[in-house]
Structure 1
Amino acid sequence: MKKWIISVVALLLIFLIWQSVSVYNHTFKTQEKVESKMEKTVKEKANLKSVSSITTYYGDETYYVGRGKTKKNEKVIVWMPKNQKKHDMIVKKVSQGITKKEVKEKVQADKNPEEIKSIRLGVTKDDQTNKEYPAWEVTYVDSENRFTYYYVAFETGKFTKLYRLYQS
């Protein structure tokens, strides 16, 4: 009886591990397919010669952020909404905005974070006008151990909003 129970438990564990690996692999393959499809879409709709990277931004709305070059060899960033019927694509020259390095320096000088977790491009809304604009989203842990979202407008480099979450 004891061997039978051990055998059943072992089979259940093997099954659970197999299913977990399967779900994990499926999730990443799906994301890769989406990003590959979005790379083609960004290239076509923004009339780009090449696309060097695509990332996914999950904010109020999902955006695919692509970096590439125009046919005139200008470096651009494209914010492609997942819901293209509801939101417009945004295209900006890299030179029209501030760099990731400048954002990092600004946050370190203004907020002195304990640890910066990530700095990424996305789209956020102006709370008063409800208008969307490209922004840098900086996530960091502050001196009071709060997880903080700090937004900096891509074009102006100005701080736009801040959210803090207490960690347990």
Structure 2
Amino acid sequence: MIVLATVIIVAFGAFVIYSQLTSPKREAKAEATKLAQKYAKLKTVKNFYWYNRQKTYFTIDGQNTNSQNIYVVIAQKGGQINIYSHDKGISGTKARSIVQKEHQPKKITKIAMGMWKKKPVWEITYLNKYNRLCYDLVSFKNGSMLKTIQNI
């Protein structure tokens, strides 16, 4: 009986901690989705990205009411919203393959879309062969490598 009670308490504690740790991301996604629905006529959500470099951006990848696949990039501060059609640039998968070809990362840890110098970019964060954190910014428009930081 004591063992069962201990297991229940530990499981409940783990759930509470997990909920508190993931709450900011859930809240950001919910708020970004509402804005995307209102201003970009978003109908469905496929992915959510949280980009944090010079500024923080939340990006919703989905489909609008006209059945167009779009990215809705929302600035955390100021709420500026940019909408990009999938066919006007490269996908996160393509950006990933560009980084893999260029740097042969040991492990890609994150892919996120945001804005850098007022242009849409894919940020790819990864571990290199020395297990050091690195990141690349890849242009959404043409797939060119805009910035690389190695061995952080």
The normalised TM-score by structure 1 is 0.72
Structure 1 segment 43-58 matched on structure 2, within 5 A: 43-58=37-52
- The change in CA–CA distance for 1:159 and 1:44 in structure 2 (over 3 A counts) is same
Post-superposition Cα deviations, 1:23-78, rounded to whole Å, max 9, x if no partner, equal 55334234323321221111101222333333322222111110122222111001
Q: CA RMSD in A?
A: 2.6
State which drifts further: 57-66 or 114-123: 114-123
User: Are residue 99 (structure 1) and residue 85 (structure 2) matched?
Assistant: no
- The change in CA–CA distance for 1:107 and 1:52 in structure 2 (over 3 A counts) is closer
- The change in CA–CA distance for 1:159 and 1:25 in structure 2 (over 3 A counts) is same
- The change in CA–CA distance for 1:138 and 1:29 in structure 2 (over 3 A counts) is closer
Q: Which has the larger radius of gyration?
A: 1
Q: Match for 1:163 among 137, 149, 152?
A: 149
- The change in CA–CA distance for 1:112 and 1:91 in structure 2 (over 3 A counts) is same
**C-alpha deviation, 1:114, in angstroms:** 2.5
Q: Secondary structure at the match of 2:151?
A: strand
Post-superposition Cα deviations, 1:54-105, rounded to whole Å, max 9, x if no partner, equal 33222221111101222221110010111126xx311100111112232222
Equivalent residue, structure 2, for 1:151: 137
Identity %: 23
Q: Match for 1:137 among 118, 123, 128?
A: 123
Post-superposition Cα deviations, 1:133-156, rounded to whole Å, max 9, x if no partner, equal 111111122234331111100111
**C-alpha deviation, 1:21, in angstroms:** 6.5
Structure 1 segment 1-168 matched on structure 2, within 5 A: 22=16, 24-84=18-78, 88-124=80-116, 131-166=117-152
Residues matched between the structures, number: 144
The runs of at least 4 aligned residues of structure 1 exceeding 6 Å deviation read 18-21
CA contact (8 A) 1:68 1:75 kept: yes
- The change in CA–CA distance for 1:118 and 1:53 in structure 2 (over 3 A counts) is closer
Q: More relative contact order in 1 or in 2 (CA 8 Å, sep 6+)?
A: 2
Rounded Cα–Cα distance in structure 1 between residues aligned with 2:128 and 2:25: 31
Amino acid at match of 2:93: K
CA contact (8 A) 2:50 2:113 kept: no
**C-alpha deviation, 1:117, in angstroms:** 2.1
Rounded Cα–Cα distance in structure 2 between residues aligned with 1:155 and 1:75: 15
Structure 2 gap segments, 5+ residues each? 1-11
Amino acid at match of 1:140: Y
The normalised TM-score by structure 2 is 0.78
